[in-house]
Structure 1
Amino acid sequence: MVDRGARVTRNVALPDGWEPKVRAAVAAVRPDLAPGALRPLGAGFESVALLLEPNHPVEPNGPVEPNGPVDTDRLVDTDRGQSYVLRFPRGEDGAEGIACEARLLPELAGLLDVPVPRFAFTAPNPLGPGEFCCYPVVPGESLSEDDWHARGLLDEPAPVRQLAGLIEAIHSFPVKRARELGVPEVDPRAEFTEDLRLVRAEVVPLLPPDQARLLIAAYERYLADDGNFDGPPTLIHADISLDHLLITGTRISGLIDFGDAQIGDPDYDLCFLWPETNRAFVRRLQRERGRPFDARLEGKLRFWELADPATDVLHGIENDLPDVRDEGLTLLSTLLTADR
């Protein structure tokens, strides 16, 4: 199993003075929640998440007036015991993702058999562009790839069966309605053609010549095969990875992080599961879905496995993030060496 590096990190870097800004932004909408305990939860390229846990005084004195002053010593949370996730976009892409989730999830949630984020509110982002979101914690643990393997969850019958149902339900959402809700539509051929141009200019010079040739050849094979682009587009989550599947016991109890949702190639919803799990798991998943696991699908998944770290290298270069660039380059070199 190749170590792909963390798509989400627990090491959350927050700007100086973040806490009073966050509390003020929450208080403007839900003053009853503002005094709760705040702690970093995780971060990705596009957003940073905090956990908000309410205070519970020994001698409460009735509910807080919605527009009145907040006395933290006499606070009663209106949702006693409920913790919340606050997600703050880091850039314009993250802001657009949260805005899209706010429109899509209320309608999509009814099709899914497990809980997903249900936004309590969105409000102006005090740490960056757009709006941040607040939603009750979705039940379950977010486990690392290693934990999934160590606990034997890939071999349990429930997760693969549940995951198959989730993917099928997401893909069944009417594309026309997704467009009406402003879900972005991507053209994979156009996107990866542009990526190839950038890879030639920015990534190839960082690789040994033999690895560079393999990488360019992988892009060219994928782009030249019309069959890779024949299928009708569907709504896709576009970021189904093991850490986004919340676990309780041996069952999936939640699915999170719909910020990359788009209309695109339905096979792309397997692209992160492919390197995180194993070939047998993806084959079982396809069987549960009543879908083929054939040479074309495997070829697409192997290409996307290479394209993902190449994209990370580009992201690191564009945003002056040397750690992201170097981690992507190391993984890409490892994969290309194994491929050779």
Structure 2
Amino acid sequence: MTSFEETNPCDIPLETVVTALRGFFPEIRDDDVKFIYHGTYNVFEVMGEWIFRFPDISLLNEDGLELIRYENEVLQTLGPHVSLEVPGFEHISEDPELPFAGYRKIPGVSLSTCFDRTTKGIREEMAEKLGGFLSELHSPEVYEAYSERWPTEFTGEAFKEYWEGYYALIQERVSPTLDDDQRAWVTSLFTDYLGDDENFAFEPRVVHGDFDTSNIIVDPDTLKVQGIIDFEETALWDPAADLLFFGEGQNFIDMIMEAYTQPTGPNLEGRMRFLYNRVPLIYISTGIELEYREMVEAGFGMLEARMSLLN
């Protein structure tokens, strides 16, 4: 299934991108720049060797610059602790009106483009790599390194309050747009999750925050895992958030968990299901807020798929 980000058109003119890149590559031409997708960033492959990310038009400001600075520092903090390759920003524009960053492309393609070509043996090898990577990322050592740079007092109580507030927002903004079945499903999703205190008794860990097949880079021929990209959502959170491979099947999740060595905390499956199922509501709510019809439609498509998959 094609993601919203893959079909979302670029919202920054190619001429603007090429002109900006000439500060680093004076001889660059228009046909050296290939648009890939548009999520938080407009992402471009440059000269077949680089990836450059220009924030969405709503983030062509100080907020976008801070997002780039944050991810750069996150990568510098995490890089020494993980065995798979992650991006290293080499070119950064700190112009708040046009912030952007570039790194050398990790050779390969997103796993999302070729997961259906994987055999059981390849998936087992992949899962071992991914489980190992997540064990490193979710380790106490990475927690300490991150907390030293970004001190915080994360508590299960505060996490529950966050989701209570988010549910109130969904009730106000999204619920009026849902049909009866959808509304009942969303109500059950939140009330079941919020009603079980075990869901907030986990040990917080540093999470990638968007750990899905689109951000796992593999060799297009051997399908071996080459690296992990897109760390802008990295934070101290519930580690269950990085295990949400329901779309790839329970067997793949089980394979990853066989290689995962960190404590999971209570009610892991329930936490995973909630975090997976709440994703469509993000698209619907954000689309309504931004008056972006295509994002709302994408969210409803995801909602129907989630309701069918995990009922």
TM-score, length basis structure 2: 0.85
In the TM superposition, what are the counterparts of 1:147-158 in structure 2 within 5 Å? Answer: 147-152=114-119, 156-158=123-125
Question: Are 1:104 and 2:104 an aligned pair?
Answer: no
Residue in 1 that maps onto 2:44: 50
Contact 1:160 1:288 in 2 (8 A): yes
Letter in 1 for 2:43: A
Cα distance between partner residues in 2 of 1:303 and 1:281: 19
1:130-145 matches, within 5 Å, as 131-144=99-112
Secondary structure of the corresponding residue to residue 267 of structure 2? helix
Q: Residue 245 of structure 1 is aligned with which of 193, 200, 216?
A: 216
SS at match of 2:19: helix
Does residue 262 of the first structure (1) align with residue 235 of the second (2)? Answer: yes
Q: Distance in 2 between matches of 1:149 and 1:217?
A: 32
Residues 1:116 and 2:81 are matched in the alignment:
no
The one-letter amino acid of 2:17's match is V
Matches within 5 A, 1:74-89: 83-89=49-55
Distance in 1 between the 2:45 and 2:193 partners? 41
Q: 1:175 to 1:335 in 2, by over 3 A?
A: closer
Higher-Rg structure is 1
Q: Larger helix proportion, structure 1 or 2? A: 2
Report the equivalent of 1:174.
142
Work out the CA distance in 1 between the residues paired with 2:262 and 2:82.
Answer: 19
SS in 1 for 2:218: strand
- Whichever residue aligns with residue 177 of structure 1, its letter is A
The residue aligned with 2:287 is: 316
Q: Which runs of 5+ in 2 are unaligned?
A: none
- Residue 69 of structure 2 aligns with an amino acid whose one-letter code is A
Residue segments in structure 1 that go unaligned for 5+ positions in a row = 54-81
TM-score by length of 1: 0.79
1:24 to 19, 30, 37: 19
Matches within 5 A, 1:189-204: 189-204=160-175
Alignment equivalent of 2:130, drawn from 152, 163, 169:
163
Distance (Å, rounded) in 1 between the aligned partners of 2:205 and 2:265: 20
- Structure 2 CA distance for partners of 1:174 and 1:339, relative to 1, 3 Å: closer
Q: Percent identity?
A: 22
Deviation at 1:226, TM superposition (A): 1.3
Q: How far 1:24 sits from its partner (Å)?
A: 3.4
Q: Check whether the contact 1:115–1:139 (CA below 8 A) recurs between aligned residues.
A: no
2:254 aligned with 1:283, yes or no? yes
The residue identity in structure 2 corresponding to 1:157 is E
- The Cα shift of 1:338 comes to 5.9
What secondary structure does 2:88 align onto?
Answer: coil
Q: Is the 8 A contact 1:283 1:293 kept in 2?
A: no
CA RMSD for the aligned pairs? 2.8
